């Protein structure tokens, strides 16, 4: 049975569910993570993210994409027709963050956490949002490069910390493609931490999630320079597949 969605007053941009930080956490110490699913999935797959990441100060806003697809939702169309959907979804996420600002959440206290399609949108928002975020976590996705993307980069893209992870055994989105795209972003000076894991197109709930937890915590206390880290060679069976297709 699906868990009941806990709605956040004042949020109308996207269908959502709200998971609050641990009781007793001072408001000044709290952060917010917007969780963006992949194609064919929904926010329901992420209802246990708080138990998985184990960051007591973190609130989570799980969102559904605006377009129905299969048994879930989708943020944009298949390649090569994804441009319009990406722009519309970017606008929805920007509206969402504006609504969050209205109710008291500063963008620099907001993380984005995206898987597959959600990873692409997290990178897109980091590049083109007119404000600095606390950080983005982009898992098993790729980057969509608009024409003249370098000229369109916002100054905040160089201030927001990025973590991009990928699986060495990903047969849906080969790691070499995303690795090369990330290098293009790093070559213009974006502060990206790139990390490869021995996994498929999935979220590893052991090694990868532990790494993400430590990285997010490091950005909550500000701030460490991004680094390249060698891939973990331990394949974990403790993983969750949260996708239908990219």
Is 0.85 topped by the overall pTM?
Answer: yes
Query: Whole-angstrom distance between the N-terminal and C-terminal Cα of the chain?
Result: 26
Which tens digit of pLDDT belongs to each residue from 120-136?
Answer: 999 999 999 999 999 99
pLDDT for residue 228: 39
Q: Is the pLDDT score of 4 beyond 80?
A: no
Helix (H, G, I), strand (E, B) or coil at 34: strand
pLDDT for residue 229: 44
| Among the listed residues 76, 109, 107, the one whose alpha carbon sits nearest the alpha carbon of residue 94 | 107
Q: What is the mean pLDDT of the chain?
A: 91
DSSP-assigned states of every residue in 164-213: EEEETT-SSS-HHHHHHHHHHHHHTT--EEEEEES--SSEETTHHHHHHH
Which tens digit of pLDDT belongs to each residue from 178-212?
Answer: 999 999 999 999 999 999 999 999 999 999 999 99
Q: Is the pLDDT score of 32 beyond 70?
A: yes
Place of tokens 């699913």: 37
Which helix H or strand E contains 121, and what residues bound it?
A: helix 117-128
Average pLDDT of the residues in 16-28? 95
> Contact, 185 vs 161, CB < 8 A?
no
pLDDT for residue 5: 76
Q: pLDDT above 70 covers what percent of the chain?
A: 88
């Amino acid at each position: 049975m699906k868990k009941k969605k806990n709605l956040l007053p004042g949020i109308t941009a996207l269908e959502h569910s709200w998971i609050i930080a641990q009781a007793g956490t001072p408001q000044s110490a709290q952060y917010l993570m917007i969780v963006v699913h992949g194609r064919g999935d929904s926010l329901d797959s992420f209802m246990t993210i708080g138990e998985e990441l184990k960051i007591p100060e973190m609130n989570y806003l799980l969102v559904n994409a605006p377009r129905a697809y299969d048994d879930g939702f989708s943020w944009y169309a298949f390649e090569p027709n994804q441009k319009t959907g990406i722009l519309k979804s970017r606008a929805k996420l920007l509206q969402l963050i504006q609504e969050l600002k209205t109710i008291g959440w500063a963008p620099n206290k907001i993380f984005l956490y995206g898987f597959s399609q959600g990873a692409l949108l997290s990178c897109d928002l980091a590049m083109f949002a007119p404000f600095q975020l606390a950080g983005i976590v982009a898992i098993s996705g790729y980057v969509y490069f608009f024409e003249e993307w370098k000229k369109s980069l916002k100054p905040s893209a160089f201030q927001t910390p990025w973590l991009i992870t990928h699986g060495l055994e990903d047969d849906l989105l080969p790691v070499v493609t995303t690795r090369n795209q990330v290098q293009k972003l790093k070559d213009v000076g974006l502060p990206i931490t790139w990390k490869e894991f021995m996994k498929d197109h999935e979220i590893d709930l052991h090694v990868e999630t532990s790494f993400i937890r430590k990285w997010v915590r490091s950005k909550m206390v500000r701030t460490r320079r991004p680094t390249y880290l060698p891939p973990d060679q331990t394949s974990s069976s403790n993983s969750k597949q949260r996708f239908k297709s990219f």
